[in-house]
Amino acid sequence: MSFLTISHLKKSFGATTVVHDFNLNIEKGEFISFLGPSGCGKTTVLRMVAGFETPTSGVISIGGKNVVNLKPNQRNIGMVFQAYALFPNMTVAQNVAFGLKVAKKPQAEIDATVHEMLSLIKLDHLAARYPYQLSGGQQQRVALARALATKPQVLLLDEPLSALDAKIRVSLREEIRAIQRKLGITTIFVTHDQEEALSISDRIVVMYEGNAEQVGAPFEIYNQPSSRFVASFVGTLNTLDAVVRDAASGIITVDGKDIAIDRTRLNGHKTGDKISLAVRPEAVSLGEATDKRETTLDGKINSVHFLGSVIRIRASLGENTVSFDTFNNPSAPPPAPGENVKVSLAAKDLLVLGH
């Protein structure tokens, strides 16, 4: 029995439907990310869970209870906003205490909880400061403490890191995850940054144009993308054009070379069909194939970007362009643009893209 269930959730504004038939079961204590580009509906679903938008149809139940008809202030949910939304007229301590004060908790309890929360985010020393005196990262941590102070049953985070600097984003997301693990609170995290989602989620829901394209653990989403969109949105992807030479035995031709792949992966494509293949940059290596399961393709270097420990190479393989990385080798200088190279990849790493 899942803790947070969303069934057949739909939202339309007039004639436009922004969320189509969204379904999801979330276990207690799980950290779920909604990942997708702007306009995919991820924030709308979140806001429906919070109660700021009313679903056109569908059920949202928390702990077995349908909350769709409850007002936001009746749902016992915590929320962290992209713009921090700390109350500017109150100190840090007063902000964190707000939910408890509204719930008319005794002052002693409020003080104790505020202290506990501020220690959790390690900002106890800033309790008397005002929001305008804090940095973005500090404000967001206070916002987190404020949301958690009332011990909500669900925590919602709406792109909380988007307004912050890159470095803070990384450290803060880890901190959020650590706190979430410690408290065991069921959490939904909305983001458009796939690295964020991959690094801290238990499961990811990849969304596109109002639909949940794929739901799964980060490893699954990355290595077994179920659609072209998921494959291209999550991680970098090289696409290669190929032709099916023999559908029955699973032979496809890439750039004049035949590659044998598992024919079940051809998914109904027939001999002579043009298909798209995708391959992750890490599956492509510089140099001849060392293993008979690998195929060698001829290419020409377009550009080489020396990034320090990693060298990013873009090469043309016939009609296709492929981007891949290779590690810096102090004793072997990187190849130069214009050079002819050999590039190898394994058939099993080729993804046949659906539509």
Q: Which residues touch 171 (CB under 8 Å, ≥6 apart)? A: 137
Q: How far is the CB of 127 from other proteins (least distance, A)?
A: 18
Task: Please identify which residue in 20, 52, 228, 271 interacts with other proteins, judged by CB under 8 A.
Answer: 52
Tokens of 119: 């220690």
Q: Which residue has the tokens 């969320």?
A: 19
Q: How far is CA 77 from the centre of its chain?
A: 22
Residue pair 322/238 in contact (Cβ under 8 Å)? The answer is yes
Bridge-based pairing state of the strands 77-80 and 238-246: unpaired
Is residue 201 a contact residue for other proteins (CB under 8 A)?
A: no
Is residue 53 a contact residue for other proteins (CB under 8 A)?
A: no
Taking CA atoms, 86 is separated from 105, 143, 146, in Å, by 21, 6, 9
Task: Please identify which residue in 8, 65, 87, 107 interacts with other proteins, judged by CB under 8 A.
Answer: 87
Helix (H, G, I), strand (E, B), or coil: what is residue 8? Answer: strand
Return the number of the residue (55 or 78) whose C-beta is nearest other proteins.
78
Task: Please identify which residue in 36, 78, 137, 218 interacts with other proteins, judged by CB under 8 A.
Answer: 78
Residues 110-169 that bind other proteins (CB under 8 A): 130, 132, 143, 146-147, 150
Q: Which residues touch 322 (CB under 8 Å, ≥6 apart)? A: 238, 240, 279, 281, 284, 299, 314, 315, 316, 343
Task: Please identify which residue in 50, 145, 164, 259 interacts with other proteins, judged by CB under 8 A.
Answer: 50
Return the number of the residue (83 or 352) whose C-beta is nearest other proteins.
83
Is residue 251 a contact residue for other proteins (CB under 8 A)?
A: no
Task: Please identify which residue in 26, 32, 60, 77 interacts with other proteins, judged by CB under 8 A.
Answer: 77
Is residue 83 a contact residue for other proteins (CB under 8 A)?
A: yes
What is the rounded CA–CA span in Å between residue 78 and residue 335? 53
Total residues contacting other proteins by CB under 8 A comes to: 30
Q: How far is the CB of 72 from other proteins (least distance, A)?
A: 4
- What residue ranges bind other proteins (CB under 8 A)? 50-52, 71-73, 75-79, 81, 83, 85-90, 98-99, 101-103, 130, 132, 143, 146-147, 150
